[in-house]
Structure 1
Amino acid sequence: MQTSTDLGLLILRLVIGGLILAHGSQKAFGAFGGLGPDGTAPIFETWGFRPGRSRVLLAATVEIAGSALLILGLLTPLGAAMVAGTLVVAASVNADKGLWAVKGGYELPLLYALVAAALAFTGPGRISVDHAIGLTESYSPLTGVVAVLVAALAAYVFIASSRRARRTQPA
């Protein structure tokens, strides 16, 4: 029997997953007023993420796949790690501007990343593919910790490899 908690988790997954799906689609396809990969690549390059086009496509793919997993409630900790990792990278872009979005800060990507991370700990609830196929019984607090560590490591690798590429490529 579903509870209000299950319904709340479904709403949370649909909203966060839907927003990140649209966000990734802006990069990948130019949907929802986005610039597509060619238009977004120069922005990524100004942030030091080079080569821009391949980094845009990687970010968009991870955002779309991770958000789809969250929406479905399928492999929820993996989807949460994918979304959280990309949003940590997004937050890093504006770290020097402080927290608050009104000053160009990282408030919104931090919020998205933390909500995704929280879903790695709570699981998707009963209204999910994970529950339907019996995966939720294997999720634990350790699963959440692993998802957060994977997100942090992936974000670090993306940022570090971009910096390395920036040093070896002309501007």
Structure 2
Amino acid sequence: MITSVKTCVTRGLTILDSLGGWLGMLGLRLLLAYEFWQSGVEKFRGDNWFGEIQSQFPFPFSVVPVDASWFLSTWTELIGPVMLVLGLGTRFWAFSLLILDVVAWQAVHAGNGYNVCDNGFKLPLMYLMMLIPLVLSGPGKLSIDHSLRQLYGR
């Protein structure tokens, strides 16, 4: 009886491990893509307000011209999510969004405490913690990156 329970548990965990390789990182990629896409669309449709907070950007971003920062931020938040959904260049785009997230945390959210309702740093912290596995482990098996690695080798 104990042997059959151990066998069932082992088989179940093996199935979950297999599914995790295909679906685990996909969930992170899709959630992050949605959130950053929304922010990018708001910037694309809105006016550049970076001039009001540029002094709060960490160096070297504080010396980049405001229009260049706005352009880079907007297009990173529009192109990056598309690439995350596809799983193409995932580590590059996840790292780019991570840098963007850290700058936003410092410039907009850091002084407001933790609470989301106070425009605090809870969401940037959550995004950071979701981006780190994508940077370190890649997009998972359900991605163009994985297919290219399979096709062209490691």
TM-score, length-scaled by structure 1: 0.65
Structure 1 distance, partners of 2:153, 2:24, is 19
Q: Point out where structure 1 has 5 or more consecutive residues left out of the alignment.
A: 139-171
Which of the residues 27, 31, 40 maps onto 1:24? 40
Residue of structure 1 in register with 2:86 after alignment: 72
Q: Point out where structure 2 has 5 or more consecutive residues left out of the alignment.
A: 1-14, 55-61
Q: CA deviation at 1:51?
A: 4.2
Q: CA deviation at 1:89?
A: 0.9
Q: Deviations over 1:120-157 (max 9, x none)?
A: 1221111100111117974xxxxxxxxxxxxxxxxxxx
Aligned in 2, Cα 1:96/1:131: closer, same or farther, shift over 3 Å?
Answer: same
Structure 1 distance, partners of 2:98, 2:79, is 12
Structure of greater Rg: 2
Aligned in 2, Cα 1:104/1:19: closer, same or farther, shift over 3 Å?
Answer: closer
Aligned in 2, Cα 1:97/1:72: closer, same or farther, shift over 3 Å?
Answer: same
Question: Aligned letter for 1:110?
Answer: L
Residue of structure 1 in register with 2:30 after alignment: 14
> Is this contact kept in 2: 1:66–1:79, CA < 8 A?
yes
Q: CA deviation at 1:104?
A: 2.2
Residue of structure 2 in register with 1:168 after alignment: none
> Is this contact kept in 2: 1:69–1:79, CA < 8 A?
yes
Q: CA deviation at 1:79?
A: 1.1
Moved over 4 A (4+): 135-138
Question: Aligned letter for 1:82?
Answer: S
| 1:126 match: secondary structure | coil
Residue of structure 2 in register with 1:122 after alignment: 137
| 2:149 match: secondary structure | coil
Residue of structure 1 in register with 2:114 after alignment: 99
Q: Which has the higher contact order (CA 8 A, sep 6+)?
A: 2
Residue of structure 1 in register with 2:10 after alignment: none
User: What is the RMSD computed on CA atoms of the aligned residues?
Assistant: 2.5
Structure 1 distance, partners of 2:68, 2:93, is 21
Greater shift in the superposed pair: 91-100 or 50-59: 50-59
| 2:42 match: secondary structure | helix
Q: CA deviation at 1:87?
A: 0.8
Aligned in 2, Cα 1:125/1:47: closer, same or farther, shift over 3 Å?
Answer: same
Q: CA deviation at 1:95?
A: 1.0
Q: CA deviation at 1:22?
A: 2.3
